[in-house]
Structure 1
Amino acid sequence: MELPFAGFARLHEFLKKLEKDTYPELPTQLHTEITSQQLDSLLAKYPLPPGAAILDVGCGQGPALDIFRERGYRPTGISLNDDDVAACRNKGHQVAKMDQSFLDYPPETFDLIWARHVIEHSIFPHFTLAEFSRVLKMGGIVYLEVPAPETACHHENNQNHYSVLNRGMWVSLLSRSGFQLLEQVNFNFTTGLGPDEYWGFVCRKQD
């Protein structure tokens, strides 16, 4: 069914309202440690070509961009938060203000998509994953990391978390979007609120 123009206009206005829910992603020790740990593991198991093009979706203030640049890759970041975009650009990174569900890049642009704690901010994650697949090269790798629902931290109640899904749903959506699941990673730790958990999914774009 074709969406009428008025429907697109309402969707656009709704997405603009949601943009106000964003907040700066200041670096934290926990997220910096997980980023470094997972990057080391990922790049050791799935080596990238020299100068590989990498998209850091929801790049925050650039902890992963820093590492990618240090290793000689060509990283690009996107974020909807003005403070984060400015912080990354001040460090010399190539970063655009862009919605993860509407990527302004040609098909098969990137060798790797790095997406830590971003897709739960999408109102339609299946569509968002389809966009990831569109701009990823065939055989390219995507790393998706999400918070588990209904932990002591109750990520489903966060201000701009709209899709805090269970593990099976993420696996299903990745498969439907053209990704082969290579491995899953669990992160279990304790916060001031109690036990918490993140899930990581390493996938390859397949035919």
Structure 2
Amino acid sequence: MIRVLVVDDEALVRSGLRMILEAAGDISVVAEAADGAAAVRAVATHRPDVVLMDVRMPVMDGLTAAGRLHGENGPKVVMLTTFDLDEYVHAALRAGAVGFLLKDTPPQDLAAAVRTVAAGNAMLAPTVTRRLISAYADGAPARAESARQRLGTLTLREEEVVRAVARGLSNAEIARELSMREATVKSHLSRSLAKLGLTNRVQAAILVHDAG
């Protein structure tokens, strides 16, 4: 069972999200919170696997809360918002979020997104993904050169895995494509993230796209 914390300042939205997620059968909403500060406290108490969190809230916004929760042993954070704005997307990724969905996401896609991030993969709304990749692929030359130098610290196999991650492939898909065991893929990815000073797949994908 995937344990989820739902965070939104509107009680009606929280109730709707709870209903959608618990109808999936393999997801349990273990707690709710009305702002980012309450979310941080709820994570410490309930230890959810995934936090589904609104961006704009009183007391502490979702981006600040995501930054507080960011870390190797923290939950996977998916930002959920009405506003498809670039500054939200970039800020959320910098804060360590591994997912970004719009509030008009269909119910079945919402549950699928929770499963995806719980499994260790990233999940971005399709429109967000297209614009994000475009923005980073067209980045400044200095940033591209820096990214290439960082990727140059990886072994050939590690770089192959990281580039496959940037294409949106899961560990199982990478294993099939590169003819290796899934456990080996996880090992390569873990070492790569450590070498690059990154903590999740989204940040690795951004670095690859920075490199052009």
Band of TM-score, shorter chain: 0.3 to 0.5
After TM superposition, the score normalised by the length of structure 1 is 0.37
- Select the structure that is richer in strand: 1
After TM superposition, the score normalised by the length of structure 2 is 0.37
